[in-house]
Amino acid sequence: MKITFYGHASLGIEVNDVHILVDPFISGNDKASNIDIDSLKADYILVTHAHQDHILDVEAIAKRTNAMIVSNFEIATYFEQKGFETHPMNHGGSWDFEFGNVKYVNAIHTSSFPDGSYGGQPGGFVIEGERKNIYIAGDTALTFDMKLIPLQTQLDLAILPIGDNFTMGIDDAILASDFVQCDKVLGYHFDTFGYIEIDHEEAKRKFFDKNKDLMILEIGESIEL
Ligand code: NI
Ligand code: MN
């Protein structure tokens, strides 16, 4: 499984030859000007919630690639009505896709569309694919619901927001890593806006002091699990 950071909360995941994008917000992110959305491959686009900093490039990419949009029922319906191929899910449900199993899990956040219309309740994803399991938390507060995940899935990587203000910050992300029983963390949702700028070295040191590994990738950088 290959994971690429496209800035903010945008991720690319490759499982075998299947390309999955998560929460594409690239063309609106000055820091991600090195990424060309017209060159991104996508068979699936996973959307955690309806906020603009998670859906901005969904339509442009789905139009070009015919990717299937996977999200909660309200978000899937919103895109289905615009003519896109979608797969609706809801909290606690899982589905076997060609690349592996996806479960839509709880997040504590909000989920209105940029025009104010209802985007359902926000979520995260647990993906089991190619013998590697990852948790993409989405925008969320620290929540005890995270403790449910390791009861069923032994994670290889937890992708957690670390920018604070709109989501968990570093200290809560360290507790989240305890809750999901995964000491290997990829941080996201930081630095994009003034509210969520963080000190990278301090963040890494705090994880290191708890015997945990916080990875912070450059935009466009990938890791292999
Ligand atoms: Ni949000
Ligand atoms: Mn966000």
Does 40 score more than 90 pLDDT? yes
Determine the 3-state secondary structure of 185 from DSSP: strand
Domains belonging to the chain, first-starting first, are 2-224 (3.60.15.10)
Could you give the C-alpha distances from 170 to 46, 66, 118, 215, in angstroms and in order? 25, 37, 30, 12
**Cα(141) to centroid(ligand 2), Å:** 12
Q: What's the mean pLDDT when you consider all of the chain?
A: 98
Give the rounded percent of residues in the chain with a pLDDT score beyond 90. 99
**What spacing in Å lies between the alpha carbon of 46 and ligand 1's midpoint?**
14
- Which pLDDT does position 192 carry in this prediction? 98
Taking residues 163-175, what's their average pLDDT?
98
E-only strand ranges, the chain: 2-5, 11-15, 18-22, 44-46, 68-72, 86-89, 94-97, 100-106, 123-129, 132-136, 157-161, 184-188, 213-215, 222-224
Burial class (CB in 10 A: 0-12, 13-18, 19+), 195: exposed
> Is residue 200 over pLDDT 90?
yes
Q: Describe the chain by its helix, strand, coil percentages, rounded to 5.
A: 25, 30, 45
List, as ranges, residues with CB under 5 A of the ion ligand 2.
53, 139
What average pLDDT does range 7-21 have in this prediction?
97
Tell me, in angstroms, the distance from the centre of ligand 1 to residue 53's CA.
7
Q: Which residue has the tokens 């000190």?
A: 199
Is pLDDT of 214 > 90?
Answer: yes
Model confidence at 37: pLDDT above 90:
yes
* pLDDT reported for residue 176: 99
Checking if the pLDDT of 165 tops 90, the result is yes
From first CA to last CA, the distance across the chain in angstroms is: 5
Question: Cα(162)–Cα(198) distance, rounded to whole angstroms?
Answer: 8
pLDDT of residue 19: 98
The pTM assigned to this predicted structure is 0.98
* pLDDT, average across residues 46-57: 98
Q: Does residue 196 have a pLDDT over 90?
A: yes
Q: From ligand 1's centre to the CA of 106, what distance in Å?
A: 14
DSSP 13-47: EEETTEEEEES---TT-GGGTT--GGG---SEEE-
Note the pLDDT of residue 167: 98
Nearest C-alpha neighbor of 106 from the set 78, 75, 132, 142: 142
Give the pLDDT confidence score for residue 130 in this predicted structure: 82
Q: What is the pLDDT of residue 156?
A: 98
pLDDT tens string 71-103: 999 999 999 999 999 999 999 999 999 999 999
Separation between Cα atoms, residue 203 and residue 190, nearest integer Å: 11
Tell me, in angstroms, the distance from the centre of ligand 2 to residue 78's CA.
19
- Give the mean pLDDT of 47-65: 98
Distance from the alpha carbon of residue 167 to the mean position of ligand 1, in angstroms? 8
